[in-house]
Amino acid sequence: MPISLDYALAMSDGVGPEGGLTDAELDGLAADRFRQAHAGVRARVDGGELGFWKLPTERAVLGEVARVRDALADSVSDVLVLGIGGSSLGTRAMRDALTAPISTAGARLHLPDNSDPWLLSHLLERLEPARTAALVISKSGGTVETAAQLVIVRDWLERAVGREAMAEHMVAITDPNKGGLRALADAQGWPTLPIPANVGGRFSILTGVGLLPAALCGVDCEGLLDGAAAMAERCTSPSLRDNPAGIVAAVHYLHDTLKGRNIHVMMPYSDRLRAFAAWYVQLWAESLGKRFDRAGERVECGPTPLTAVGATDQHAQVQLFMEGPRDKLVTFLAIEDGERDLTVPESQGSTSYLSGTKLSALLDAERVGTTEALASDGRPSLTITVPRLNARALGELFFLYEAATALSGELYGIDAFDQPGVELGKRLAFGLLGRDGYEEAASEIEDRLAKRPTRYRV
């Protein structure tokens, strides 16, 4: 059974005229802007620019992934995934959704993606190098956080296993032809997997970036691709009402631009999809937050994505969603069959009403209660129902949001596939680190720091 999307409560029929969109608004967009957006994405896919769209059907990668997995030492039980942003968030989402928290099957994946030394230093103290592999993942091959971790981990591994055995413990996943990581891996003879040149970091989960970690921890890679392929098929429809990514893009775009709902909340009622929501945040934010449109006009547009988790956030953010500014559109993610359950035993007194209740039923009742409570006050939402959270369903979800992001970029008229806004901060940080070639950035930031007024400190 495929995942389904219900957007009734994003429409005025479901939440009233203030809260929802009219059919005329949606159909007006369908006739005009969506048609163009759809054609724009198709042209970029057919022209080979948007490589992510074709990944689900390009199965040669599975053989390459198996070859690299088999090249690793048989003793490997722990895998350090060294990457950040698009080189890590999808893998975390995959791991958390599809592997058990205390799993004995497959390798354990660790994702110390930040430069914060806390997690990595603990891991290096606890893990046995002889039983550990490091997957270094970087599309550009030069990301500073990943480069620093690579050098630390390589040193840690090499001192334990020796230089000759390093190719059984290190894998590089990077651009097929260029970048520092590609050059290093080739020089060292480490196994590598390519991130196709036309696939950007945050769209790369269905390349070796996500598939090798998936294979190592026993996830069904074919299932991930099958689900994504089935969703790609659905998202190819030029009819907005039949196109799930089109609906996600159009409903969010119209709520943002017509109703001022520019905070887009992803709220799974499942711990297993918590990291998926974080992956979505990066995808939506980095792709859609742009200063200029594609004609070069200053637009400074972009919805703000937010994660929430049910039922946890009913005790944290839902108060704000219910009574705060009417600037949010919530997407609830529901899992129909959670595979595991616990039933509350017979009990007396104040908890007797829970006797015999399944935790899954409690979670579901809380989700429906929250959805309807929001709707009763004209606060809109969408609900995606996942019949069962397996590799196939996760593949569907990944592709749905990648396609929706591409279509949204067209609707906003911006380039969803670059991220120029992160460059200045990086340049200034390199200046502070004294990196060669960043002398100008160093004086710029020193100057800025020196000029900062000091009277505002307490």
Element (H or E) spanning 152, and its range? helix 144-161
| Contact pattern for ligand PA5 over residues 260 through 289, marking x by CB under 6 A | --------------------------x---
- Minimum CB distance to ligand PA5, residue 181 (Å): 8
Cα separation, 398 vs 132, whole angstroms: 28
The single residue among 138, 192, 314, 371 that binds ligand PA5, judged by CB under 6 A, is: 138
Backbone phi and psi for residue 295, each to the nearest 5 degrees, phi listed first: -95, 0
CA distance 280 to 288: 12
Span near ligand PA5 by CB under 6 A; candidates 136-144, 303-311, 387-395, 423-431: 136-144
- Nearest in space to 286 (alpha carbons), one of 397, 410, 200: 200
Check residue 140 for interaction with ligand PA5 (CB under 6 A). yes
Q: Examine the residue annotation and report whether 259 is marked as an active-site residue of this protein.
A: no
Q: Which residue, among 161, 21, 140, has the nearest Cα to 86 in the 3D structure? A: 140
C-alpha span between 111 and 143 (Å, rounded): 16
Shortest separation between residue 382's beta carbon and ligand PA5, angstroms: 24
Q: Which residues contact 252 (CB under 8 A, 6 or more apart)?
A: 264, 303, 329, 404, 408
Q: Is 178 one of the annotated active-site residues of the chain?
A: no
Nearest residue (beta carbon) to ligand PA5? 201
Task: Given the residues 178, 426, 440, 446, select the one marked as catalytic.
Answer: 426
Residues 39-98 that bind ligand PA5 (CB under 6 A): 84-87
Tell me the window of 51-59, 65-73, 91-99, 138-146 that interacts with ligand PA5 (CB under 6 A).
Answer: 138-146
> Whole-angstrom Cα distance, residue 338 to residue 331?
19
The H-assigned helical ranges of 7-137 are 12-19, 23-29, 35-46, 60-71, 89-98, 117-126
CA angle 140, 206, 426 (to 5 degrees): 25
Q: Which is nearer to ligand PA5, 290 or 328 (CB)?
A: 290
Burial of 352 (0-12, 13-18, 19+ CB in 10 A): exposed
Stretch that binds ligand PA5, among 51-59, 134-142, 155-163, 305-313 (CB under 6 A): 134-142
Which residue number, 140 or 385, has a Cβ lying nearer to ligand PA5?
A: 140
Among 143, 360, 370, 408, binds ligand PA5 (CB under 6 A): 143
Footprint of ligand PA5 on 403-442 (CB under 6 A): 419
Question: At closest approach, how far in Å is the CB of 422 from ligand PA5?
Answer: 7
Q: In the complex, what is the shortest distance from the CB of residue 86 to ligand PA5, in angstroms, rounded to a whole number?
A: 3
Q: Judged by CB, which is closer to ligand PA5: 77, or 140? A: 140
Q: Which of 25, 145, 168, 286 is catalytic?
A: 286
- Window 169-208: contact mask with ligand PA5 (x via CB under 6 A): -------------------------------xxx------
d(CA 335, CA 338): 6
Give the shortest CB-286-to-ligand PA5 separation in angstroms. 6
- The strand pair at 328-337 and 263-268 is best described as parallel
139 binds ligand PA5 (CB under 6 A): yes
In terms of CB distance, is 3 or 84 closer to ligand PA5?
A: 84
- Encoded one letter per residue, x for contact with ligand PA5 by CB under 6 A and - for no contact, window 368-407 reads ----------------------------------------
Backbone angles phi, psi at 137, to 5 degrees: -120, 120
* Of residues 84 and 127, the one with the C-beta less far from ligand PA5: 84
Does 149 help bind ligand PA5 (rule: CB under 6 A)?
A: no
Q: Which of 301, 302, 268, 296 is nearest to 282 (CA)?
A: 302
Helix (H, G, I), strand (E, B) or coil at 418: coil
Pairing of strands 304-307, 263-268: parallel
* Residue count, binding to ligand PA5 (CB under 6 A): 14
Cα-Cα-Cα-Cα dihedral sign, residues 195, 199, 203, 207: negative
Q: What residues are paired with 383 via a beta bridge?
A: 6, 332
Is there a catalytic annotation at residue 164?
Answer: no
CB of 398 to ligand PA5, least distance (A): 14
**Can residue 113 be called a binding residue for ligand PA5 (CB under 6 A)?**
no
Q: Which is nearer to ligand PA5, 140 or 257 (CB)?
A: 140
Q: Phi, psi at residue 413, to the nearest 5°?
A: 75, 25
Residues with catalytic roles? 286, 315, 426
Interacting residue ranges for ligand PA5, rule: CB under 6 A: 84-87, 138-140, 143, 146, 200-202, 286, 419
